[in-house]
């Protein structure tokens, strides 16, 4: 035990004897570790932010819209437009076994909303009862639409958070009335804030029963069915079956509108599951790239430590020879230089990890409730584990190689060294 304490004492005295050299060496390792963690942390922050943005849309949502049917595959001449219908939604509900939930809606942006205090112009959504089960729509006050609202074609409305503030500034909206293109609707609920930052599109929407919407504000035009809807939105039974669910839906819609489901250009849709997977692949590749850059930086610092340790052995050749002449063993010499390299590496790594964590915490406090489209960088456990593992390898290499050279010096040759 006493011998080990003496060795540690010699190690710290040797490090202290070359303060500037030790500082610069440790700075290189600490910078490499901090760079590795920060780069990966930034990538994970972007990934997390994108996931949260897509989660604001809803869970596992696939949105389908009316499209145009090409006369021939991959041709854009002689295309025939078609609108989705409520009948399509019912057929999907009955005939697509890999679809667990489906809803239809109408979206009108040309209607005017007026209260006794103000006016607003957000989109009016005619929706079904299960809309909040598919799309993210938390209710802050009151309630959402119920079965009686749809069955009786009631004139009731749920306001988006921003439209509630615009139509009833500083006043309670529940139970009050607004007019939509002259029709008087009672406010039964107010949605909570959706999304982050200046993305207020969803917060300016208002929601009324789909049956009321189709009666008062239907989609009109030439050759448009009476039960036309703006969009059909659905969820597959699981994320992995999204393509199977889409194939079933394509088959049903194509059969209802008289074309073959092989005409992929005829379908207008957004698959949020596929978008999430694409984002995941992009940021995984980014993690590998940024992690590689960090490891290269860390490796350069390790090379610096090996170089410094070799210089140290060269400078202390006579000291090593004298100690061996006085009885020091190869093992004690090797242990001292090995520990010196390991301590330089380990202490640098701890400083780098601590500095990176502190900077990430500071950036997180600056961002506050994070109203931007990305999250603050965060310490990723696997990147910290990779940094520690790389540090351990660098420390062993930086210690053993110079230490073995020092331990195998011949005392007589070492003492003759100028």
pLDDT given at position 362: 82
The confidence score (pLDDT) of residue 373 equals 59
pLDDT for position 265: 84
DSSP 123: P
Q: Report how far residue 357's alpha carbon sits from residue 338's, in angstroms, rounded to the nearest whole number.
A: 28
CA atoms within 13 A on the CB side of 369: 4
Parallel/antiparallel/unpaired status of strands 183-191 and 156-159: parallel
Cβ neighbours for 342, distance < 8 A, ≥ 6 positions apart: 395, 396, 398, 399
The structure's pTM equals 0.70
pLDDT given at position 232: 95
CA distance 356 to 377: 10
Measure CA 254 to chain center. Answer: 35
Can you say whether the dihedral through the CA atoms of 319, 321, 322, 326 is positive or negative?
positive
Residue showing tokens 């390898």: 393
Q: Are 140 and 157 in contact (CB under 8 A)?
A: no
Q: Looking at residue 288, what is its pLDDT?
A: 78
Position 252 scores a pLDDT of 95
3-state secondary structure of 178: strand
- Cβ burial, residue 301 (10 Å; 0-12/13-18/19+): buried
Which residue ranges make up each domain of the chain?
1-56+277-416, 68-266
**Which contacts of 325-329 are long-range, i.e. CB under 8 A and separated by 24 or more positions?**
325/411, 325/415
| DSSP conformation class of 125 | E
Predicted confidence at residue 243, as pLDDT, reads 92
Q: Which of 208, 268, 191, 263 is nearest to 232 (CA)?
A: 268
Give the largest Cα separation in the chain, rounded.
Answer: 106
Structure tokens at 180: 């939509």
> Residue-wise pLDDT tens for the chain (418 aa)?
555 565 556 556 666 666 776 777 777 778 777 877 887 787 777 777 777 777 677 788 999 998 888 766 655 556 788 999 999 999 999 999 999 999 999 999 899 999 999 988 889 999 999 999 999 889 999 999 999 999 999 999 999 999 999 999 989 999 999 999 999 999 999 999 886 655 677 888 999 999 999 999 999 887 888 899 999 999 999 988 999 999 999 999 999 998 888 888 889 999 988 888 887 788 778 777 877 776 777 777 667 777 776 776 666 667 767 777 777 777 777 777 777 777 777 777 788 888 888 888 887 777 665 555 567 777 777 777 777 777 667 666 666 766 676 667 666 665 565 5
Q: What share of the chain is helix, strand, coil (3-state, %, to 5)?
A: 55, 15, 30
């Amino acid at each position: 035990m006493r011998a080990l304490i003496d060795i540690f004492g010699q190690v710290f005295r040797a490090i202290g004897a070359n303060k500037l050299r030790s500082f610069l060496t440790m700075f290189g390792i600490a910078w490499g570790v901090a760079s590795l963690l920060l780069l990966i942390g930034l990538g994970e922050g972007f990934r997390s932010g994108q996931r949260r943005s897509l989660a604001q849309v809803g869970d596992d949502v696939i949105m389908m819209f009316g499209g145009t049917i090409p006369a021939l595959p991959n041709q854009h001449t002689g295309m025939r437009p078609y609108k989705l219908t409520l009948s399509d939604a019912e057929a999907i509900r009955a005939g697509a076994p890999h679809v667990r939930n489906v809803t239809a809606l109408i979206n009108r942006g040309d209607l005017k909303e007026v209260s006794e205090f103000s006016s607003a112009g957000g989109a009016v959504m005619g929706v079904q009862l299960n809309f909040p089960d598919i799309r993210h729509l938390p209710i802050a006050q009151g309630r959402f639409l119920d079965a009686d609202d749809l069955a009786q074609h009631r004139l009731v409305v749920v306001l988006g958070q921003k439209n509630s503030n615009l139509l009833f500034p500083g006043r309670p909206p529940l139970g009050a009335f607004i007019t939509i293109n002259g029709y008087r609707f009672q406010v039964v609920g107010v949605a909570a804030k959706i999304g982050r930052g200046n993305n207020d599109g969803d917060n300016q929407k208002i929601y009324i029963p789909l049956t009321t919407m189709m009666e008062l504000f239907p989609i009109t035009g030439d050759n448009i069915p009476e039960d036309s809807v703006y969009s059909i939105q659905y969820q597959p039974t699981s994320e992995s079956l999204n393509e199977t669910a889409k194939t079933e839906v394509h088959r049903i819609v194509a059969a209802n509108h008289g074309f073959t489901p092989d005409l992929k250009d005829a379908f207008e849709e957004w698959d949020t599951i596929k978008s999430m997977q694409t984002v995941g692949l992009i940021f995984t590749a980014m993690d590998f790239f940024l992690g590689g850059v960090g490891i290269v930086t860390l490796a350069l610092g390790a090379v610096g430590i090996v170089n410094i340790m070799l210089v140290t052995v060269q400078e202390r050749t006579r000291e090593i020879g004298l100690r061996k002449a006085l009885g020091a063993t190869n093992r004690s010499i090797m242990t001292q230089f090995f520990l010196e390299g390991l301590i330089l590496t380990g202490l640098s790594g701890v400083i780098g990890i601590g500095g990176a964590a502190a900077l990430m915490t500071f950036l997180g406090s600056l961002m506050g409730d994070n109203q931007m489209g990305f999250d603050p960088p965060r310490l990723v456990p696997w990147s910290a584990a990779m940094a520690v593992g790389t540090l351990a390898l660098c420390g062993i290499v930086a210690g053993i190689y110079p230490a073995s050279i020092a331990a195998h010096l011949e005392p007589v040759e070492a003492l003759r060294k100028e």
